[in-house]
Amino acid sequence: MGQNVDNSGLLCDNGGSKKAIYYHPQYREGCPMKKRIPVFLLSVLLALVCLCAPHSASAVTSVSLADSISYEGGYTTISWDVQGDDIPYVVYILPINGSAEQQTLRVAETTEHSARAVELIPGKTYKVIVTDADRYILDSKIYIMPEPVTFEDGKLKNTSVKISMEPRKMPAGGDKKKDTKKLKALKASEIIAGIEDGSTDYGIRYTMKMPKLAKARTFFVTIAFESPDGFMLTEVASEMTYDRVNGGTETLWFYLTGERFFKYLYRNTGTVPAGDYRVDLFWDGMWVNTSTFKVK
């Protein structure tokens, strides 16, 4: 039978049984449940469907994902071949890492035979899923991302970049610049309570410091978080310009980041484990730094 991705991110077959792409406590009943229908009424309904319903493009469209994907400058290009009519395509990714249940992410919509995504991390493994607009799965394939090279741009090297992280919290919906408060430590019980009652966001202040620059530089910045049991999420994926060129030290920071990571972690796994959390920084797809922070 064909399969569909429902709105909750669950994978359903046409019979209504659940095959979860990822676990989400709020969506345990995301797939339609089977119901008993009188045989006569069922036959009438089926006849009407056959006569009146237009045929789905998916029935005449065959998609075959390429054997490999490309990664350059922080961007991943996913491509596929098509036989049949062109339709709108939707691309999802599912990380495969550690023991944690992962978050399926919708990363692109296109009518072309390729899509570009920014959420995939070098060296990691992902299942890529292509569906039609009705979330009917057309093809899926597992890819291992290429290992990153170490950052170097002229005299600027990864060893010149200093990273610092501080635990922070903020009232939900607050201003990250004005309302974040420094904490002595991040505690799993407090993070969970803040998520459950919707009152408080928890994360870190992430600071990048480098020496004086001879010229302004723009990099595509990717920052990815990973829990002790392997849950992964890309928190930052955007261009940033380092433009202080008249002496001094260039410093850029995020007042609060990681709050989305903690919410997805808890909603997918049902917990926020204590231990060391990993944060990876990439510029233009090149590895700059790996740091860790603790949750008690």
Predicted confidence at residue 139, as pLDDT, reads: 97
**What is the pairing mode between strands 156-157 and 62-65?**
unpaired
Predicted confidence at residue 268, as pLDDT, reads: 95
Q: Mind listing the pLDDT tens digit of every residue in the chain (296 residues)?
A: 345 443 334 343 333 332 333 323 332 223 333 333 444 444 444 444 443 444 444 455 799 999 999 999 999 999 999 999 889 999 999 999 999 999 999 999 999 999 999 999 999 999 999 999 999 999 999 999 999 999 998 888 999 999 999 999 999 999 999 999 999 999 999 999 999 999 999 999 999 988 877 777 889 999 999 999 999 999 999 998 887 655 556 788 899 999 999 999 999 999 999 999 999 999 999 999 999 999 99
CA angle 242, 247, 251 (to 5 degrees): 40
Q: Answer whether 260's CB lies under 8 Å from 233's CB.
A: yes
Q: Answer whether 225's CB lies under 8 Å from 260's CB.
A: no
Q: Answer whether 242's CB lies under 8 Å from 213's CB.
A: yes
Assess whether 106 and 30 both reside in one domain.
yes
Assess whether 126 and 191 both reside in one domain.
no
> What is the C-alpha separation between 120 and 122, in angstroms, rounded?
7
Assess whether 170 and 81 both reside in one domain.
no
Assess whether 137 and 169 both reside in one domain.
no
Question: Residue 71 belongs to what domain range?
Answer: 3-144
Residues, the chain, total? Answer: 296
Q: How many domains does the chain have?
A: 2
Q: Answer whether 58's CB lies under 8 Å from 136's CB.
A: yes
Amino acid at 19: K
Assess whether 140 and 189 both reside in one domain.
no
Picking from 144, 179, 207, the residue at the C-terminal end of a domain is 144
Predicted confidence at residue 60, as pLDDT, reads: 54
> Could you tell me the CATH number of the domain that includes residue 72?
2.60.40.10
Q: What is the largest CA-CA distance in the chain?
A: 82
> What is the C-alpha separation between 100 and 266, in angstroms, rounded?
11
> Could you tell me the CATH number of the domain that includes residue 238?
2.60.40
Dihedral sign (CA 133, 135, 140, 142)? positive
Predicted confidence at residue 239, as pLDDT, reads: 93
Assess whether 9 and 118 both reside in one domain.
yes
Assess whether 233 and 130 both reside in one domain.
no
Picking from 89, 114, 144, the residue at the C-terminal end of a domain is 144
Assess whether 60 and 166 both reside in one domain.
no
Q: Which residues neighbour 20 within 8 Å (Cβ) at sequence distance 6 or greater?
A: 10, 11
Assess whether 52 and 182 both reside in one domain.
no
CA angle 81, 144, 203 (to 5 degrees): 115
> What is the C-alpha separation between 84 and 97, in angstroms, rounded?
35
Q: Answer whether 167's CB lies under 8 Å from 184's CB.
A: yes
Assess whether 235 and 267 both reside in one domain.
yes
Predicted confidence at residue 76, as pLDDT, reads: 97
Assess whether 187 and 121 both reside in one domain.
no
Picking from 91, 119, 144, the residue at the C-terminal end of a domain is 144
> What is the C-alpha separation between 285 and 274, in angstroms, rounded?
29
Assess whether 29 and 54 both reside in one domain.
yes
> What is the C-alpha separation between 158 and 57, in angstroms, rounded?
49
